[in-house]
Amino acid sequence: MENFVWKCPTRLVFGKDVIGTVADFVQSENGTRVLLVYGGGSIKKSGVYKTVTDSLKNAGIEFVELSGVQPNPRLSLVLEGIDTVRREKIDFILAVGGGSVIDTCKAISFGDAVPSDKDIWDDYFMVKGAPIPKGINVGVVLTIPAAGSEMSNSCVITNEKTGYKRGVNHENNYPAFAVLDPQVCYTLPPYQTACGAADMLSHMMERYFTPTENVDYTDALLEGAMRTVLQYGPLACKNPTVYEYREQLMLAGTLAHNNLFGCGRVQDWASHWMEHELSGLYDIAHGAGLAIMTPAWMRYVYKTKVSRFVQFAVNVMGSSMSIADEDKIALDGIARLEDWFKSIGLPVRLSEVNINGDRIDDMVKQCLDGGRGVAGGFKKLYAEDLAAIYRIAL
């Protein structure tokens, strides 16, 4: 293992009917005047909006609303939120939604705390490793299990003017709390459930495919976690209102990305980077983009360390060790993963979402911009490698 520091201070509040207690957790973080951030009308239809606002009102907590967060959340709404926080003297930000809403809130929080001579986009999102300032606290009521942002240090925003989608990771990004009731997932359509499952699985795979020789403790945890998503993802798609399926998937999604499973290891993230360019340019669902890019990435890199792909095939995907040679076992695991994506209704080729190869060069260029130069921890990938992977995905 590499040396590491891990701290995840988010309070996880999980279970049936816990959303009505959200005001207790706002108050325990000294929130008195809340910016309530959400997307469109789905939280009003589902009743989550009423449960949250009733809880705040009953506790005497004032709130101001900021709605209209879109998937692949926009920088412009972040800037609007920062203005609102300052104008309305907000001291707590409550995200009610999925990853896009949560990331918008994280960016508003630290954006409000950025020194006046710095620019939130140019000096933080476009600069890898910039130290994120600690802003006012963010709390979460999660409605879509997928991004894992509710318990992560990550924040991904799209600059709709430049088409760049960029993430920043920093300890100050952890929410103060995350309230999760699996019952809110009952109304999620199967496609959205499937996209969520693909995203969580990807957060695990990005950490699993590490260049180390050792098979270690974290592998054992990750393999159990991945098998859980493979098992419960399809069940939740087919039976949307079974609590047990929803709770297993929701917990798996949250723990997938708090980086416990990334401790002490070089991680990959090339599939995520390449997907960010896809969804940044074409606005497709992140989970769908991952279902396309991940198998393509795997086919391009597996020979770099075939033993790890054999381990993945056998311990996670259920491939048989009796297959004749290592390459074949590795490819069998990749094929099984692709079949699993298809089984839950996800695309596995760019052509299925009407994307052709016209803008591969643009995506490759953007992917390596901002001082990155190279992608991937499992195998270092340069421009020609990324172009080849996009072409495999066509």
**Residue at 214: amino acid letter:** N
**Position among 103, 112, 206, 223 found at the interface with a copy of itself (CB under 8 A):** 223
* Least distance in angstroms from the C-beta of 170 to a copy of itself: 14
**Position among 58, 214, 241, 307 found at the interface with a copy of itself (CB under 8 A):** 214
Determine if 247 is a binding residue for a copy of itself (CB under 8 A).
yes
Please, are residues 294 and 338 in contact by the beta-carbon 8 Å criterion?
no
Please, are residues 24 and 187 in contact by the beta-carbon 8 Å criterion?
no
* Least distance in angstroms from the C-beta of 12 to a copy of itself: 5
The span from the CA of 149 to the CA of 298, in Å, is 25
* Least distance in angstroms from the C-beta of 238 to a copy of itself: 18
Determine if 373 is a binding residue for a copy of itself (CB under 8 A).
no
Determine if 260 is a binding residue for a copy of itself (CB under 8 A).
yes
**Residue at 386: amino acid letter:** L
Number of residues binding to a copy of itself, judged by CB under 8 A = 38
The span from the CA of 229 to the CA of 243, in Å, is 15
Q: How distant, in Å, are the alpha carbons of 12, 308, 312 from that of 375? A: 32, 19, 22
* Least distance in angstroms from the C-beta of 355 to a copy of itself: 34
Stretch that binds a copy of itself, among 5-13, 97-105, 131-139, 233-241 (CB under 8 A): 5-13
Determine if 321 is a binding residue for a copy of itself (CB under 8 A).
no
Determine if 227 is a binding residue for a copy of itself (CB under 8 A).
yes
Determine if 255 is a binding residue for a copy of itself (CB under 8 A).
yes
Q: Which run of H or E residues covers position 389?
A: helix 383-392
The span from the CA of 83 to the CA of 128, in Å, is 25
Residues in the chain: 394
| CB-nearer residue toward a copy of itself: 176 or 337 | 176
Matching residue, tokens 């907590």: 61
Binding site for a copy of itself (CB under 8 A): 1-16, 18, 214, 216-217, 219-221, 223-225, 227-228, 232, 244, 247-248, 251-252, 255, 260, 263-264
